[in-house]
Structure 1
Amino acid sequence: MDPALLADPFRGFSRVREEAPIARASFPGQDTPVWLVTRYEDVKTVLGDHRFVNNPASIPGGDVPDLREKLVKARGIPDEYVGYLTDGILDSDGDDHLRLRRLVSRAFTARRVVEMRPRVEEISDRLLDSLPGDRVVDLVEEYAYPLPITVICELVGIPEGDRPLWRGWGSRMVSMAPGALTEPLISMIDYIRDLIPRRRAVPADDLLTGLIRAHDDDEDRFTDAELITMVVTLVLAGHETTAHLIGNGVAALLTHPDQLAMLRAEPELTPRAVHELMRWCGPVQGTRIRYPAEDVELGGMVVKRGEPVMAVLVSANYDPRRFDHPDRLDLTREEDGRREVHVGFGHGLHYCLGAALARQEAEVAFAGLLSRFPGLRLAVAPDELERQLMPASWRLARLPVLLR
């Protein structure tokens, strides 16, 4: 929560990386230190090596304190709701993780994502049609958020009239205000509990119907709590980060006119541009906590069994050992739009399940916006753009623009 680090995590974490490959840090109000792993190769090791687990209960012996649980409880979450934030697909390991991932992976295959593209373009076009040209527009509120929340809610099966509820809950979930997490979490859980029997009675062609069938076929294989947790995770993860990738990306393009002009002249660069924007200004700057199941050497130091570790994606993506001139925004950096070198979407077993969908939504969002408004520009000076002050995250509070 250091103000200078929050204001410029790119240079801040890069400084940490060059001073120490791994460094000690702490969360506010917590006395358990965390290792920050900052260099590209070490980050890939943490994310891809089976010796690092997401759930400390996966470590034999059962004597490793659960920092995740401490952090959630510190936010005021009642004990009976803690598991909905610590026991889902993001925090499972090995066969348990594969079991949960298989339940939803068909909805995010490359083929399924390609088939969804016309619908994503339709949603984007409708949103662009509704943007007013006679006033300053907050592009985060009126475009970057509505696009992915609409897409993921349609995919999961959230009725159209209820989607503003999820937009509001999602916004409050990321608030750093004391106690702010409890009400939206409980509201989401109660909503899903109510929606499940309604969807069971009237099935639809959506992911929720498939999850209900999997649950009803074998409750021991897929429990009530896992079903609810999965829906919460998919809807929140499926729109929050994509929205801020779009917002950050537009701001980056508008402050780099040479790159913007190149993308306008060569729209076929858009897939490569999305990769570079994810590297250069991605919204997720640090991963969930990992735990070594045994002593592991990283950066010339030994991380002891069970010591919490966070892989710092932003410093890895700016590591000059892997990227030439990493501070420079270069939309042609990636060789093509299908292969990625950056770790903005993670790496290994927990690589982002919805990465292909997020990339597609960003491609559609940038292409539609830039072709529709050739004179698009910021309505404030770049240094006046307001950021949400959240650790390990890079988010615009708003993005005021003028449409031309």
Structure 2
Amino acid sequence: MTATAENLVEEPVDLFSPEVVADPFGQHARLREAPTMMMGTFMGGPPMYLATSYNEVRQVLTDPRFLVNPPADSPMTDIRDGVFKHLEFPPELVPWMANIINAADGEDHTRLRKLVSYALTAHRVNKLRPRVEKITADLLDELEELGGDGTPIDLVQTFCYPLPVTVICEMVGIDEEHRDDWRAWGDAMATMDGPAIPRTLLRCIDLGQEVLDRRRREPKDDLVTALVQAQAADGNRVTDRELIGILFSLVTAGHQTTTYLIGNSVLILLENPDQLARLKADPSLWPQAVRELQRLGPIQFGQPRFPTEDIEVGGTVIPAGEPVVPLITAANTDPRKFPNPEELIVDRLGVGSESHLGFGKGIHRCLGQHLAYQEAEVALQGLFTRFPNLSLAVPREEIPWILRPGFTRTRDLPLKLV
């Protein structure tokens, strides 16, 4: 029998509840193995269908009938409106959020994505590798100065964050003195810090307009220059507001997720010394390893999708316009797709297969995946090569985690280098 909303009798699961936030892998597995599709909610919003199995999540991410905004004829209001209201977000700032690439559908999405996709192809990212290696080497030198005598260091602040934020800001064209402002914006969004979001957003709006104006006067070899030149060549059909939205997407996504990926990966590898030994013995496995690490990575769920018509997903009919949330963690640990999914197996995934869903799938797949893989590969291989005796400076249970929904990540990662 095909399930409908009336068959889903359990109370919606609060994805922001302390139980789910504290144990996303366990709780998402429970939702995946439920006898019928579960409903979820967050921030007091409406009930949403939860896609949990690998096949369900992949369908929701790739089927073009699923949009990131409610269809125009849907009675459902945008879930983000409820989130903004919950956060007491100033209404006049809401339109800025609509110009982020992953908040657009159809022609708008294609138009915005096309502006930046050329800069983040695998070929172009490969040309950046010497610079990524140089930044990594410099950071490793600084780590040795800080902790070469056995003094514990926090890897998140000294390594996991500086590497990706430096790379993406250099690529985009964000000046060094403004990088902390962009980080503050990203941190506020990632932690749903209501009071901080408007303040940091306004600051980055000003900085975004400033850098657009400056690159029009003084072009450089960076993405901002390419964007304003493409805007002029296109007859200014793309607005400055849309360009600033692109900067928000690139800078935030370009360092937040990679920071979490590197930090979480170090911890996972230290907890799996047999797999770490394989990588030390055969460094050619690192490209595969970072894909496996992203399978077990920080992203818990994707943004809600809205079907343009009634669509059956996993035996449940989702009515047109009703939101469905793809649970990435549940899909990436589905034993029907990944045998022994909780285990780290560094050569489980082929470099070209991209079977995990950690960077999404379909037209909204993360533009920065090639850059994230490269940075993680260079960072992790460099770290464990330079410091082969790397170890935790505190017991595992004392590692502080950021208990916020959406991402699984350590707040600090205290390590000893020798």
Q: State which of 343, 350, 353 in structure 1 corresponds to 2:364.
A: 350
Structure 1: how far apart are the matches of 2:190 and 2:105? 25
What's the CA shift string for 1:197-219, capped at 9, x where partnerless?
A: 11211000111011112223345
Contact kept, 8 Å, 1:263 with 1:269, in 2: the verdict is: yes
The alignment status of 1:377 with 2:388, answered yes or no, reads: no
**Shift in alpha-carbon separation, 1:369–1:217, aligned structure 2, 3 A:** same
Contact kept, 8 Å, 1:55 with 1:91, in 2: the verdict is: yes
- Secondary structure of 1:307 counterpart: coil
Q: Which residue pairs with 2:331 in the alignment?
A: 316
Q: State which of 50, 53, 61 in structure 2 corresponds to 1:47.
A: 61
The alignment status of 1:238 with 2:254, answered yes or no, reads: yes
The offset of 1:343, in angstroms, is 0.5
- Secondary structure of 2:33 counterpart: helix
What's the CA shift string for 1:310-359, capped at 9, x where partnerless?
A: 1000000011111111111111211x323221101111111111101100
Q: Which residue pairs with 1:127 in the alignment?
A: 139
Task: Give unpaired runs (5+ residues) of structure 1.
Answer: none
Structure 2: how far apart are the matches of 1:42 and 1:62? 23
The aligned length equals: 399
Structure 2: how far apart are the matches of 1:307 and 1:345? 24
- Secondary structure of 2:49 counterpart: strand
Q: Which residue pairs with 1:163 in the alignment?
A: 179
The offset of 1:391, in angstroms, is 1.3
Q: Which residue pairs with 2:5 in the alignment?
A: none
Identity %: 47
Contact kept, 8 Å, 2:291 with 2:351, in 1: the verdict is: yes
The offset of 1:154, in angstroms, is 0.6
Q: Which residue pairs with 2:318 in the alignment?
A: 303
- Secondary structure of 1:283 counterpart: coil
Q: Counterpart of 1:347 in structure 2: which amino acid?
A: K
Contact kept, 8 Å, 1:21 with 1:39, in 2: the verdict is: no
Q: Which residue pairs with 1:107 in the alignment?
A: 119
The offset of 1:259, in angstroms, is 1.1
Q: State which of 9, 28, 31 in structure 1 corresponds to 2:43.
A: 28
Structure 2: how far apart are the matches of 1:35 and 1:219? 42
Contact kept, 8 Å, 2:392 with 2:416, in 1: the verdict is: yes
What RMSD, in angstroms, separates the aligned Cα atoms of the two structures? 1.4
Contact kept, 8 Å, 2:57 with 2:331, in 1: the verdict is: yes
The alignment status of 1:91 with 2:107, answered yes or no, reads: no
The offset of 1:20, in angstroms, is 4.3
Q: Which residue pairs with 1:179 in the alignment?
A: 195
Structure 2: how far apart are the matches of 1:198 and 1:95? 29
**Shift in alpha-carbon separation, 1:21–1:144, aligned structure 2, 3 A:** farther
Q: Counterpart of 1:113 in structure 2: which amino acid?
A: V
The offset of 1:164, in angstroms, is 2.7
TM-score w.r.t. the length of structure 2 is 0.92
Q: Which residue pairs with 2:159 in the alignment?
A: 143
Task: Give unpaired runs (5+ residues) of structure 2.
Answer: 1-15
Q: Which moved more, 1:193-202 or 1:394-403?
A: 193-202
Structure 2: how far apart are the matches of 1:219 and 1:233? 23
The offset of 1:62, in angstroms, is 5.3
TM-score w.r.t. the length of structure 1 is 0.95
Matches within 5 A, 1:130-279: 130-131=142-143, 132-133=146-147, 134=149, 135-218=151-234, 221-279=237-295
Q: State which of 300, 304, 310 in structure 2 corresponds to 1:285.
A: 300
Q: Which moved more, 1:377-386 or 1:310-319?
A: 377-386
Contact kept, 8 Å, 1:271 with 1:359, in 2: the verdict is: yes
